[in-house]
Amino acid sequence: MDEFNYADYILGYGYEIPKNRLVFEQVKIGIPLEFRHKLINLINYTLESGDLLLIDGIDSLGSDFKEIYSSVNFIFKKGIRLVCLEFSKKEIKGDIKKIFFHFLKICSDFDGKLQSNRKIGNKNINKVGRPEILNKAQKDEVLEKFKNGQSVYSLAKQYSVTRTVIQRLLSKSSDHVIGED
């Protein structure tokens, strides 16, 4: 099977990037930024004001609108130019930048309100069902092992839980990571 040529793919959109400056990261949908070391290091330490960051889709910058908004905010504050091929194929600047950023802020606020309503709604309800399977120390171990490259399947097998338990733990552990040192 032929390997996909990302340099040609990006060239098709009118952007020529030297091979030594091309960083590629393929990530499954819903992986929090906390586990995306390449992207975090690229934005925090490698890219400088005036550099151009090309992303395929806006979902490349986070697993939810809160993370995406935080990432875009940090990218713009740092002076990094942003191109989202799925959005406009051109640099996001001027009025488009204001509208784009405002839209992300609205979506992030909506996500926040939705999450807080869910938390408030659940406080009045007595917890039913089985007690949690993993204790705090085990949860921390799972997160650390996942960061070090172990798969969800292998972690689930190792701790004798379902993959859903591990995926739920990973989802709940996601915080703002970009811009934090």
pTM: 0.59
Measured CA to CA in angstroms, residue 76 lies from 36, 63, 91, 100, 104 at distances of: 19, 19, 12, 12, 13
What local confidence, expressed as pLDDT, does residue 1 receive? 43
pLDDT tens for residues 73-132? 999 999 999 988 887 778 889 998 899 889 999 998 998 888 777 766 555 555 667 778
- Give which of 103, 34, 104, 36 is closest to 69, Cα–Cα: 104
Q: Please check whether residue 36 is in contact with residue 44, taking contact to mean a CB–CB distance below 8 angstroms.
A: no
**More reliable by pLDDT, 36 or 4:** 36
Full domain range(s) for residue 62 = 6-130
Q: Please check whether residue 40 is in contact with residue 33, taking contact to mean a CB–CB distance below 8 angstroms.
A: yes
| Domain contains 49 | yes
Give the chain's domain count: 1
Residue 106 sits in a domain of what CATH number? 3.40.50.1390
Q: Please check whether residue 77 is in contact with residue 43, taking contact to mean a CB–CB distance below 8 angstroms.
A: no
The answer, yes or no, to whether residue 7 has pLDDT greater than 60, is yes
